[in-house]
Amino acid sequence: MHPLTYRTLDGGLASLDPGEVEAFSQQIRGTVLTAADNEYDQARRVWNGMVDRHPTLIARCLGARDVRQAVDFARQRRMLLSVRSGGHHIAGNAIADGSLTIDLSQMRQVRVDPAQRTARVGAGALLGDVDHEAQAFGLATPLGINSTTGVAGLCLGGGFGWLTRQHGLTVDNLLSADIVTADGQLRVVSANQEADLFWAIRGGGGNFGVVTSFEFQLHPIGPEVYAGLVVYPFAQARQVLKAWRDFAAAAPRELSVWAVMRQAPPLPFLPESAHGKEVVVFALLCHGDLEAGERLAAKVLDFGDPLGSMLGRQPYAGFQTAFDPLLAPGARNYWKSHNFVEVSDGLIDAVIQGVETLPGPECETFIAQLGGAMSDVDEADTAYAGRNANFMMNVHGRWQDPADDDAIRNWARQVFHDTTPFATGGGYVNFFTEDESSRVDSAYSQNYLRLQQLKQQYDPDNLFRINQNIAPLSFAQSA
């Protein structure tokens, strides 16, 4: 094997002797891949098909000791470092050219303690892994809405889903974590142990180290919930979005209703004449009293004259996979996102205008209903800011042909621009694309300075920088 070139933290290039790579391979239980290995191309692929990057090494770790060895290897050589769990982040931060990629995807263990209602979750676990194990005991914790999303990235950036209005963000349910910091040390963090670092990882992303396992609080959920879809023709968009806004203002916390605007997929409960036409879809889930959920869902059918609906009792874990076909890996994706305190008439008009110019059949704009328990937590209690957001919008450009790159990105940026006057100015870092580093400080608002100070303490050389980066305070002062 010839020497391998890698990128350094200083922006230069350096080389690895084959003996160094072999010695590193012998130090870990997992596998170290290079471009010469058959598994390399598959291992470097991530969810967003636009991302095509070539790390120098991929260390497929099997435990915390492997992670410690990998962090030490990178730090000692000032080697660019990236960290992959589910590989689902829109910006593709799981992988970087010329880096050592710490791949956690094989650490997918989930252990549930039904008596304590807790789950110990490996850093490579996907949402579906946690739901599968926890629902065996009728338990769950707030996670996302796509079963193939990685738990680690979702949690470290905040994490929200169908249960957030009742039980808060994913980080609000994090009890403890094991994390390897830039010095190669494994630390156990919780509210009572290294509390500052625990504060930082609850929303601060991957800036402070590599979390190797998480401990979550679980809640009684299901296993059946009342859930489904109600679809309206786009001609009624203004009417039904206003009705949804008014309904959402008084909705109980156990109910979440999201608005999705896109071209209708060929759903079996819709007339064929609606397939491919712009529609407004209300996706809803109610847990707890299912009879009450049915009564509440019936009110969504009264927003206008629906094209069709599919509502009923179903397994919670099943509904968590309902949108997987629309979010399969490999497509090209570009997102723009805003937080809102309210859905004003002006915002409704701007969103409708954006949907009237949809550039492709897979593109959509959705607005998630939040608030509730998420807003009960004080802004300073975790790194995650934006607790005042009752709604979150994501403009989701999704397509297959690279020839459409400019048109669809420009569409998403235009909708973002047109809805900016109605937004809080904050944002959700898990939805930030790679060209939105300028939004990171506003996303953390009043918590940003403390995060910079903690970054200075735990990662003064910014080893963990392939993320929505929070630079150490000394970096910012010297800029």
Which of 475, 433, 478 is CA-nearest to residue 451? 475
Q: Determine contact, residues 107/212, Cβ cutoff 8 Å.
A: yes
Extended beta strands in 317-458, E state: 332-340, 364-369, 391-399
Residue-wise over 104-126: b if at least 16 C-beta within 10 A, else e? bbbbbebebeeeebbbbbbbbbb
Residue 478: per-residue pLDDT = 67
Instruction: Tell me the angle at which helices 345-355 and 405-419 cross, rounded to the nearest 10 degrees.
Output: 170
**Which tokens sit at 127?**
């949402």
The CA distance from 423 to 350, in Å, is 12
Residue 479: per-residue pLDDT = 59
Q: Indicate whether this model's pTM tops 0.75.
A: yes
- Kindly report, residue by residue over 252-270, the tens digit of the pLDDT: 999 999 999 999 999 999 9
Q: Determine contact, residues 132/315, Cβ cutoff 8 Å.
A: no
Instruction: Walk me through the domains of the chain, giving residue ranges and CATH numbers.
Output: 4-103 (3.30.43.10), 110-220 (3.30.465.10), 224-437 (3.40.462.20)
**Which tokens sit at 306?**
């629906």
Give me the residues of the chain with pLDDT under 70, please: 1, 476, 478-479
Which of 163, 207, 201 is CA-nearest to residue 384? 201
- Kindly report, residue by residue over 311-343, the tens digit of the pLDDT: 999 999 999 999 999 999 999 999 999 999 999
Residue-wise over 329-338: b if at least 16 C-beta within 10 A, else e? eebbbbbbbb
